Structure 1
Amino acid sequence: MLLLAALLSLFSSHANASSQLTEQQINHLRMSLYKKVEAITQIPWYVLAACDQYERNVRKIKNDIPKQKGVIGIYIPPDKWAGTANPNLNDQNPVSIQLFGGIGMDGNGDGKAQMDHDEDVLYSFAHFLSKYGNDIENLKIGLWSYYHRDKTVGIILGHMKLFKHFGHLQLNEHAFPLPVRTDYSYRDTWGDARGWGGRRIHEGTDIFAHYGVPVRSTCYGIVEMKGWNRYGGWRIGIRDIQNTYHYFAHLNGFAKDIHVGQIVKPGQIIGSVGSSGYGPPGTSGKFPPHLHYGMYKDNGKTEWSFDPYPHLKLWERLEWQKEKK
């Protein structure tokens, strides 16, 4: 408790205190706040962690909302915080905020409802959800009422599942998609032209390898999609806690018992290299065997592809370093 108090004091006294703390210390602060608010509102800590994780990811890539200052990333817009009819959108009085229908509340007992204070924000958000209930079905309703976007709710539910399963917040590890001691080759092919099925660009990196080489999950995540696509053949999509969607295509087959909704870990085998695709289900052999690996980012409104090559090179290098130890 003394360590927690010291960390909270450091963070509250410096705007950029996060740069002075390790990731482990910051996650310790976050977990302490989640558990404290859980005890008051009965909203499970992993629900709060999932929403906070989702919004931190969004705030990193969006320019139309303020950048995060504290350890909590949940952003409540001023009109939602103070109430749309409130003439003072910077109102910190819990009584007048409630009078105008705002959701801002005093979470730390100082008599103020401050929308830039971690405890106030987390408590206010949890209290909003608690009005719908704390079981999963009612939480889905509460999340949709807050975000008004099915995909956002789906991503948060995935984050919830991961945090609940592993019981901690350190889920940022990654792995190269093929075993580094196998025979493979790749270069940066993102943006190259593709012609089959209509003119388009290549949204990923092709990693050429022999048939049957194991394909591994690159992250902690949830299997969002599995099946056939006429372009990608047999393919799997996995969502991680950074709101990033990892796409594995042209597989020869899937690992046994892999299914939609499954939790996976970095390095876990999910399938094998093949040459499936470019036609109806079962089409194969129209190109050399390889893994098409793509990455897509969700920003709360839309999703777009980005070049996975730099990430692949980093993960490959880190794995070789582990191999040499």
Structure 2
Amino acid sequence: MRNSEFKLKKARRSFICAACAAIVFGAAVSPAWGDADREPAKAAESLEKMSREEILFSRKALYDKVASATRIPWYRIAAIDQYEHTLTKAHPKDRSHPKRLTGIFMNEPVWSGLFNPDPNDSNPHSIGIFNGYGKDGSGDGLADMNNDMDVLYSMASYLLRHGQSEDDFSIALWEYYHNSRSVQRILQFSKLYEKFQTLDLSGHAFPLPISDSYSYRDTWGTRRSWGGYRIHEGTDIFAPYGTPVRSTCYGIVELKGWNPFGGWRIGIRDLDNRYHYYAHLQGFEKKLNQGDIVVPGQTIGWVGSSGYGKPGTQGKFPPHLHYGIYRDSGLAEWSFDPYPLLRHWETEERKAIQKKRKGTS
């Protein structure tokens, strides 16, 4: 009995000594980026002075470096980072951190390790002992949860634990978020980045071809009675039957089919984690399927008067497009007024058309 207790105490002392040695003498095992490779992180200090193009260029440089070191495709890293940006936008207080290029947020228990006595630990070795996710990606010997390279390298290293196939990626996302919505969003973002090989996918279009044949006003929040009293979660754009309905964004077709309220409708998810809802359609573009990628201005259907009943119900109201837009908080979605965006997209497209006409005249 005494012998076993002695061995147990000896094992504990050995573990504690090893942990202390790692903390005091350990050196970080990480990619050797060099001084020039740490420039993107320095750029984050003057983030507010950077243009949108410079920010995207710097982010892409970070993703490429981490991808080169870990062989995790850059577009998967970018997809997670973009999704995390949208979560911070939805929950700024819960995910507060100093301004930086990247959006991935890990709280102290995740970064340093759940049972780590130092919640602000930045030593990669001691963090590893307590199974924290934090790693040194910049090569400075520290695992800083607010350093862009450290954050991205830590996430990529986590993904590597599961493997590099697409299925491995999906499993890793589920194990990290435990939320099917999160997995779906990140896979959608990854698909878009892989398709276009760029981060700059912010272009937009008005949902109908620019003309004088349509009319609309701000109808968001007005009362509706069919199916029970509720508010109108969108803007109605009145136009003749058969007017083409276009995607307003780069996105993924998330839903397509019949809805008792909206009739024939399509839902498209964009990279800002916004759901674009097009309802009361006369029909769909035949080649368009759920999961397909769309671009701004692409025809997705035609104006109709479907809805307010069983599949096929038509003509209970004048033909129009109901356009709604919803933001995802990670656990739920809520609508917001699309009218200001519609006015902006319409104005920008009219200017572009006029500019093109002047250039060809």
Per the normalisation by structure 1, the TM-score is 0.96
Residue 90 in 1 paired to residue 120 in 2?
yes
Q: CA deviation at 1:301?
A: 2.1
Distance 1:170 1:204 in 2: 27
Residue 267 in 1 paired to residue 290 in 2?
no
Equivalent in the alignment of 1:40: 69
Do the aligned partners of 1:59 and 1:67 also contact (CA within 8 Å) in 2? no
DSSP-derived class of the 2:162 partner: coil
Greater mean deviation of Cα atoms: 270-279 or 33-42 = 33-42
Distance 1:191 1:321 in 2: 30
DSSP-derived class of the 2:81 partner: helix
Of the three residues 251, 271, 295, the one matched with 1:241 is 271
DSSP-derived class of the 1:294 partner: strand
Do the aligned partners of 1:7 and 1:29 also contact (CA within 8 Å) in 2? no
Distance 2:300 2:38 in 1: 44
DSSP-derived class of the 1:236 partner: strand
Distance 2:182 2:157 in 1: 19
From the CA coordinates, give the structure whose radius of gyration is larger: 2
Equivalent in the alignment of 2:26: none
1:209-228 aligned at under 5 Å gives the runs 209-228=239-258
Q: CA deviation at 1:189?
A: 0.6
Equivalent in the alignment of 1:149: 179
Q: CA deviation at 1:8?
A: 2.8
Q: Deviations over 1:265-305 (max 9, x none)?
A: 00000000000001111000000000000000012221111
Residue type at the aligned position of 1:143: L
Distance 2:237 2:203 in 1: 21
DSSP-derived class of the 2:202 partner: coil
Q: CA deviation at 1:36?
A: 0.9
Do the aligned partners of 2:38 and 2:138 also contact (CA within 8 Å) in 1? no
Cα 1:219–1:305, aligned 2, differ >3 Å: closer, same or farther? same
Do the aligned partners of 1:60 and 1:67 also contact (CA within 8 Å) in 2? no
Distance 1:10 1:50 in 2: 23
1:132-281 aligned at under 5 Å gives the runs 132-281=162-311
Do the aligned partners of 1:253 and 1:271 also contact (CA within 8 Å) in 2? yes
Distance 2:51 2:97 in 1: 19
Do the aligned partners of 2:41 and 2:148 also contact (CA within 8 Å) in 1? no
Q: Deviations over 1:122-147 (max 9, x none)?
A: 00011001100111111100001111
Any gaps of 5 or more consecutive residues in structure 2? 1-35, 356-361
DSSP-derived class of the 1:131 partner: helix
Cα 1:248–1:9, aligned 2, differ >3 Å: closer, same or farther? closer
Any gaps of 5 or more consecutive residues in structure 1? none
Identity of aligned residues (%): 54
Of the three residues 46, 57, 66, the one matched with 1:28 is 57
Distance 2:78 2:221 in 1: 35
Of the three residues 146, 153, 158, the one matched with 1:123 is 153
Equivalent in the alignment of 2:43: 11
Do the aligned partners of 2:67 and 2:74 also contact (CA within 8 Å) in 1? yes
Residue type at the aligned position of 2:285: A
Do the aligned partners of 2:204 and 2:345 also contact (CA within 8 Å) in 1? yes
The structure carrying a bigger helix percent of its residues is: 2
Greater mean deviation of Cα atoms: 142-151 or 179-188 = 179-188
DSSP-derived class of the 2:352 partner: helix
Do the aligned partners of 1:185 and 1:207 also contact (CA within 8 Å) in 2? yes
Residue 49 in 1 paired to residue 82 in 2?
no
Residue type at the aligned position of 1:11: A
Distance 2:284 2:52 in 1: 35
Q: CA RMSD in A?
A: 1.5
Distance 2:231 2:164 in 1: 45
Cα 1:169–1:108, aligned 2, differ >3 Å: closer, same or farther? same
1:59-70 aligned at under 5 Å gives the runs 59-62=88-91, 63-67=93-97, 69-70=99-100
Equivalent in the alignment of 1:317: 347
